[in-house]
Amino acid sequence: MNDLEFNATPGAALARRFTGVRARTEALVALLSPEDQVIQSMPDASPAKWHRAHTTWFFETFVLRRFDPGYQVFDPGYAFLFNSYYEAAGPRHARPKRGLLTRPGTAEVSAYRIHVDAAMARLLAAPPEPAVALIELGLQHEEQHQELLRTDMLHALAENPLRPAWDPDWQEPSHAAGPITYIAGPEGVVEIGHAGPGFAFDNETPRHRAWLAPYRIADRLITNGAWLSFIEDGGYRKPTLWMSDGWAACAAGDWKAPLYWEQRDGAWWQFTPGGVRPLEPARPVRHVSWYEADAFARWAGKRLPIEAEFEAAARLPGFHDATGIVWQWTGSAYRPYPGFQPWEGAIGEYNGKFMVGQMVLRGGSLATPPGHARPSYRNFFPPDKRWQFSGVRLAEDA
């Protein structure tokens, strides 16, 4: 087993980072009503209120209860309500029923956050050395939940027939426009995985060597316009393009286009954080599953890059939009790296136990907090999931 270790930000800088991350979560929910914060639109999503409470529970459970002998637990019942999947930390409320928790209300959750933040401020005045790495993990964890909060609330608001905007002033991020070219990626023996210094999740380690046959990778992302061509050519109606399970998921979900696309009087529109807006053909496509990405690649006569190809190529000049637009599906199953060891204790449940039945995404999306992603970051989701800001970059054998 591995202990959680890295070169963490010390002292006052860590306290400032803690305050900033916690404030960013509250800024995300500032435009939501109390009713918005309760809704859970599907079992894969969680209410905004739950995200706020769970990230607070993380600091209370793994930091304060261990390193502050005088800490007073805010409410013993919250340990059951706001544990996510940490079996070693005790029983928990069923995930699909999180939206039924009308109580505690948003005001009580705010009071919980204030209580824990005050205790953390005292601890951060002189943090015990073993606590520093756990605090940074908690901050990285909260940044992950900030992204989930964005994607979960977008899904919830999309279920409202009024299609309300979360942020009416929201703007599409800038991206590299123009035709795709394929650039030669590094080949032969390459090294991938986190090399440090700084934080990394356990699934990014150990750094190791991988062999890459000659390949070329697209210099930019697949666009809405290219996806429209796929639709118009019957891409969602041709079983020969799809994996068997993907074709079943396509039929069961009646997929005809990416999630949040809709047609009105023959024109395509897209639901965004700023509400329903006309679909822009030149923008990168998003909210597609791995099954759709794989079918599109086959239709285009290409393939999805494996994650080692993506990581090796992402640093090349001319490789555009590696992060900040969409998470990019790869052709790699989510599995441990050679020599992988999970962290010691309950936090060892963070990543390792999910290494089956899921596919890797690389990069980072417009919902990812600034500075959170890095070239070695491994995101992962089951291949049928579409509600994340997930898109497509293609590759081909050389």
pLDDT at 64 over 90: yes
**Pair 359, 222: CB distance under 8 Å:** no
| Superfamily name with CATH number, domain 182-397 | paralog of FGE (formylglycine-generating enzyme) (3.90.1580.10)
Residue 270: predicted pLDDT: 98
The mean-pLDDT minimum among 194-203, 220-229, 338-347 falls in: 338-347
Residue 89: predicted pLDDT: 82
**What mean pLDDT comes out for the span 106-110?**
98
**What mean pLDDT comes out for the span 216-239?**
98
pLDDT at 8 over 60: no
**Pair 325, 173: CB distance under 8 Å:** yes
Nearest CA among 171, 181, 184, 240 for reference residue 212: 184
pLDDT at 53 over 50: yes
**What mean pLDDT comes out for the span 64-92?**
93
Residue 6: predicted pLDDT: 55
**What mean pLDDT comes out for the span 343-349?**
72
Residue 217, strand partner residues: 183, 395
Residue 319: predicted pLDDT: 98
Q: What architecture (CATH level 2) is domain 11-158? A: Up-down Bundle (1.20)
Residue 1: predicted pLDDT: 40
**What mean pLDDT comes out for the span 367-393?**
97
Q: Are strands 390-391 and 327-333 parallel, antiparallel or unpaired?
A: parallel
Average pLDDT, the chain: 94
Token pair, residue 336, equals 């441990």
Residue 342: predicted pLDDT: 83
78 vs 332: CA distance, rounded Å: 37
44 vs 272: CA distance, rounded Å: 19
231-263 pLDDT, tens per residue? 999 999 999 999 999 999 999 999 999 999 999
Token pair, residue 301, equals 């006569």
**What mean pLDDT comes out for the span 199-216?**
96
pLDDT cut 90: percent of the chain above it: 90
Tell me the whole-structure pTM to 2 decimals: 0.95
The mean-pLDDT minimum among 48-57, 125-134, 213-222 falls in: 125-134
**What mean pLDDT comes out for the span 94-122?**
97
**What mean pLDDT comes out for the span 115-141?**
96
**Pair 291, 246: CB distance under 8 Å:** yes
Token pair, residue 224, equals 């809405």
**What mean pLDDT comes out for the span 264-282?**
97
Question: In what helix (H) or strand (E) does residue 267 lie, and over which residues does it extend?
Answer: strand 267-272
Query: With bands split at pLDDT 50, 70 and 90, how would you rate the model's confidence at 354?
Result: confident
Domain boundaries, the chain: 11-158, 182-397
Same fold, 11-158 and 182-397: no
280-336 pLDDT, tens per residue? 999 999 999 999 999 999 999 999 999 999 999 999 999 999 999 999 999 999 999
Helix spans in the chain (H): 11-28, 48-59, 65-67, 78-81, 106-124, 129-158, 224-232, 244-253, 290-299, 307-313
138-170 pLDDT, tens per residue? 999 999 999 999 999 999 999 999 999 999 999
239 vs 246: CA distance, rounded Å: 9
pLDDT at 16 over 90: yes
pLDDT at 226 over 90: yes
Nearest CA among 155, 144, 262, 270 for reference residue 199: 144
Token pair, residue 229, equals 């061509």
**Pair 257, 287: CB distance under 8 Å:** no
Number of neighbouring beta carbons within 10 Å of residue 41: 19
Assign 169 to helix, strand or coil: coil
The mean-pLDDT minimum among 101-115, 293-307, 337-351, 358-372 falls in: 337-351
